[in-house]
Structures are given as C-alpha cells and as structure tokens.
Amino acid sequence: MKIITILGARPQFIKAAIVSKKLRQNHQEIIVHTGQHYDYQMSALFFEEMQLPSPKYNLSVGSGTHGQQTGKMLEEIEQVLINECPQAVIVYGDTNSTMAGALAASKLNIPIFHIEAGLRSYNMRMPEEQNRRITDHVSKLLFCPTVTAVANLQLEGISEGVYNVGDVMYDAVLHFLKLAKNKYITGLPIQQIISKSSAYYLATIHRAENTDNIEKLREILKAFSELDKIVIMPVHPRIRGFIENLRNESDMNKNIIFIQPVGYLEMLLLIENCSKVMTDSGGLQKEAYFLKTPCITLRNETEWTETLAGGYNVLCPIEKETIVNTVLNVKVDEQAHNIAYFGNGQAVDKICNIINGFES
C-alpha cells in the first residue's frame, strides 16, 4: 500500500521512528510533517538522531490558536491526500495534527489507522481528549496500548478493528536506550551539573492547563525551588517567555536549572539517572514507568492509569506545599512492575502484521 503518516509533535516522531522502519519493508510510506512542533530541539533533532525518514511534505503550520492551527492543517493535509491518493493514513496519539489528519482522511473516505487509540482522561476540557475521541470514532484500525484502552472504546460502541498490541513507546524505549548509552558512553553533556546518579529531579511542564495560567506556573516553580535536590528542567518553547519573566523573582532561582529541550536519547538518560520525574506529559509518565523511575504527575487525572500501580506514578494537584510533600514522600512497590500492562516490547511487529493483512 501507499500509506501517508502524519506527524507534528515530539512524541509522534519517537513512535514513528520505530514503526516506519518496519512498515517500509512492505509498504510505500510518505511522511507529512504538519509543523506543529517546529523548534529545532523539538523537531529536526528527533528526525536526525533517530534516523526517521525525512518528510516529503513539511506544512510549516507553526503555532496559533487551536482553531487556526487545526484549520490550516486540514486544508494543507487534504490537498496532500488528494495529490497522493494513498490507500491509508496513519496518525499517532492525540495532538491537533492527529485530529486534522484523521478528519481530512475521513472526509475523503481514506482508511485511518490510529496508533495509541482508546486513551481517555474523561476531561473534555483538554484539547487532547477532544482530539483522541474524534480520531477514534473515524478510524478503521485502532491499535490500543493496553487492555484499559480497549475497554474504553467498547464503552463508546467501538469494537470493530480494535487490537490490543501493546505500547509502541515501550518498544521505542527498549530500542533507543541502548543507542543512548552507546552514544553518551562518557556521560551526559550536562554531567558537570550532576555530581552523581539520583542527585537531581527532572521536570517538564507544557500542558495548556498548567502554562496558560501564570499563577499555576508560578506555584509549580516555587515548589521546585523548595525541594531537597536540584531540578533540571528542559524548557518547552511555548513557555520560554513565561519562564524568563518568572526567573526574575528571587524565590524561583535557587534550585532550578533551566536548560534547552534535549533530544530523545539524552532525555532517556536523564530519566533513568534522576531521582524522580515531575511532569504533566503523558509520554514522560510512561517513559519514567518503563525505566522504573518514580513520577509525580502535575495533573488531576491521567490517561495512563496503569502507571499508578505500586505508586510509580502519583497524581498531584497544583499547590506548592502539596507538590513538595508528594515529591519528598513518594514510595513505590516494586512488585507492581511485574505486570506487563504495556505489552512485551513487540507492539511494532503486531501493528505491521495487521496492516500487512488489511483489506479496505
């Protein structure tokens, strides 16, 4: 088949890197990059270090309101699909790129394969929740990472074309961690900051619910400043301006080391070597879980409920004292990690075998 893969954000580049290599053994794949993530550290770097094939189309949509961004993507993706006439479209996850790609394909009656289907936070205020629900309801093949995701789809009346294949991100972590250790054999580039393993916390913040409210972001940073270890925080481009303003406040600087976004290989090493992760990222919650690093999720809900088992992931509301107390007092039950909630690291093989046998 001729298959168009639509990508736009960091987590999708990671998943596609591991899927595309296998997919291209039997199919013609064309990659479309919407440009949702356009900063070099969030986009081109990932294509380079993971050897993801270059996109044939880069739509350069960039930032904007949800309506502006999604509307531009819809128009551009539709034209690509009309020109290329693919037999299927692959989308990943729950970004605006995902929904725009799915809607454009659906209107043209092109089968949609949704990788990472069935996730639900049940918070319809989240753009990601809206995107993933719409995408699932127009998809032909739905590749679920967990049993919970399959059950979520069944509750919405979706049962045909649903497969529990395991988590592609788990495949990616297993594969790229080996590459990361070989590449950075002499240590992390920021080794001079980290005196020894587990001497730091790792933090990332990017979700609109935490960054569109300056008071929430201030509360988070105040909490980080009061912890017992340094906090290494790669700064997402969308909050760079806010961070620069808040850094002028004296109680924000004593404990946090702000760095540029890092590539995936370096991020895996940062996760593996830190004491704990603090994040609002869905992908980072899982990566921390796969690497057995305790995670504090700065949200009131998570799509990845399996990670909560054994206390490996703990939900935490945005309040300074609560964040500090949660981080300092997290304890995990290592026995909980014995259950293979996310499969056995063979999700890519299962997905490609199903696609190989697909008949529209």
Check if 2-167+343-356 and 177-338 are the same fold.
yes
The pLDDT of residue 252: 61
Q: Where are the domains of the chain?
A: 2-167+343-356, 177-338
CATH for 2-167+343-356, options being 3.40.50.1970, 3.40.50.1820, 3.40.50.2000, 3.10.20.30: 3.40.50.2000
Non-local CB neighbours of 297 within 8 Å, separated by 6+ positions: 279, 280, 285, 313, 314, 315, 316
The pLDDT of residue 244: 73
The one-digit pLDDT tens for each residue of the chain (360 residues) are 999 999 998 889 999 999 999 999 999 999 999 987 555 445 577 677 788 888 999 998 877 788 899 999 999 999 999 999 999 999 999 999 999 999 999 999 999 999 999 999 999 998 999 999 999 999 999 999 999 999 999 999 999 999 999 999 999 999 999 888 877 655 555 555 555 556 899 999 988 788 778 888 889 999 999 999 999 999 877 777 777 777 666 566 678 888 888 888 889 989 998 999 999 998 999 999 999 999 999 999 999 999 999 999 999 999 999 999 999 999 999 998 999 999 999 999 999 999 999 987
The pLDDT of residue 157: 98
Mind spelling out the 3-state secondary structure of the chain?
CEEEEEECCHHHHHHHHHHHHHHCCCCEEEEEECCCCCCHHHCHHHHHHCCCCCCCEECCCCCCCHHHHHHHHHHHHHHHHHHHCCCEEEEECCCHHHHHHHHHHHHCCCCEEEECCCCCCCCCCCHHHHHHHHHHHHCCEEEECCHHHHHHHHHCCCCCCEEECCCHHHHHHHHHHHHHHHHCCCCCCCCCCCCCCCCEEEEECCCHHHHCCHHHHHHHHHHHHCCCCEEEEECCHHHHHHHHHHCCCHHHCCCEEEECCCCHHHHHHHHHHCCCEEECCHHHHHHHHHCCCCEEECCCCCCCHHHHHHHCEEECCCCHHHHHHHHHHCCCCHHHHHCCCCCCCCHHHHHHHHHHCCCC
Q: Are 11 and 172 in contact (CB under 8 A)?
A: no
CATH superfamily of 177-338: Glycogen Phosphorylase B; (3.40.50.2000)
The answer to whether the pTM exceeds 0.95 is no
Catalytic residue numbers read: 206
**Amino acid letter, residue 122:** Y
